[in-house]
Amino acid sequence: MIAAAALAALATVCALAAWRMTSVRWTWRAPRAAIALWQALGLTWGLASVGALLAYALEPWGRGVIHGLVYLVTHWREPSGLQRVGALAAGLALLTVLMAVVVVAMAQTLQARRRHRLLLSLVARDEPAVPGVRVVDHPGAAAYCVPGLKSQVVISEGTLSLLSRDELAAVLAHEDAHARERHDLVLLPFAALRWVLPWSKVVRDANASVALLVEMAADDHARLRVPPKRLATALLRFGTAGVYITPHGALGMGAENVMARVNRLVQPGPKMPARYRYGIVAGAVLLTTSAPLLWFLPQ
């Protein structure tokens, strides 16, 4: 019973921690460490929830989750009792859903990107002023990265006329960070979870928090190479360039997020001491290893 209880407790702790993390602000002072913690929380929550159900179902054999599952498959015995069979079915179903959702999201994302790249190859052009960047002839302001093995940075004609040279360099440094650190891979599982639990406020907030942290991490990367003030003015120019209607599903958090990023750039607070940052990362690693270890616990 210990393993099942411990895993259930772990899943609850992760859910509570995620709920807390959506409203705290210290994460902005160390976005990279916070992202690692978010990933650990998400992964551990999934493994612990599935593990708790399976551990309960397989508990009478006293073999733990992993060896219990092996025993189940090799000897083809079902656990006795309706409750335990139910827990087994629920655990396996949850595991399948979580894995399937990530796989489907990945497939859809890859397909959308392929189509996007194909269209870019047809209508985008090179611009001598910004080598290595694809330019789309459209008056709207857009700057983004199509991630992949060969990530592509794209800007619109509108961006070229909106920003000064320095600001454009700042934007490109920001996008370069996205491309280099593969931030899309960080966001993918959270976006997938949001897709399967669209009504859950915690999942929605978690997704938004991670998305903002990823932007802040890219801002931090860019400020090493360009004046932070230029990045800040570029952000504000972008935010005000919209002549568009708010896309449906947008949370009205736009301005708040932009201002949070601008304030960080213009008046950087005290940096989080390195020992705290390493502490957070170590905690994330410890958390990630805890669930798999509990899967082996025999009782």
Partner 1 sequence: MDVLWAERSPLTAREVGRLIADRDLAPTTVMTVLDRLTRKGFLTRVRDGRAWRYEPAASRDAYIAELMLEALDMTGDRSAALTRFAQAVSGTEAEVLRKALTELEEE
Q: Which residues bind partner 1 (CB under 8 A)?
A: 105, 108-109, 112-113, 116, 118-120, 122-124, 136-138, 140-147, 154, 156, 171, 174-175, 178-179, 183-184, 187-188, 190-191, 194, 214-215, 218, 229, 232-250, 252, 254-255, 258-259, 261-262, 266
Least separation in angstroms between residue 275's CB and partner 1 is: 31
Nearer to partner 1, 11 or 212 (CB): 212
Least separation in angstroms between residue 161's CB and partner 1 is: 15
Beta pairing class for 152-156 and 143-146: antiparallel
Least separation in angstroms between residue 38's CB and partner 1 is: 14
Strand partners, 130: 127
Nearer to partner 1, 66 or 127 (CB): 127
Nearer to partner 1, 92 or 130 (CB): 130
C-alpha–C-alpha distance, residues 200 and 196, integer Å: 9
Neighbours of 128 (CB within 10 A): 5
Nearer to partner 1, 209 or 233 (CB): 233
Q: To which H or E segment does residue 214 belong?
A: helix 201-223
Least separation in angstroms between residue 89's CB and partner 1 is: 31
CB within 8 Å of 24: residues ≥ 6 apart: none
Nearer to partner 1, 77 or 115 (CB): 115
Give the closest residue to 41 by CA, choosing from 13, 6, 65.
13
| CA R_g for the chain | 23
Q: 274 exposed, middle or buried (CB, 10 Å; 0-12, 13-18, 19+)?
A: exposed
Least separation in angstroms between residue 248's CB and partner 1 is: 5
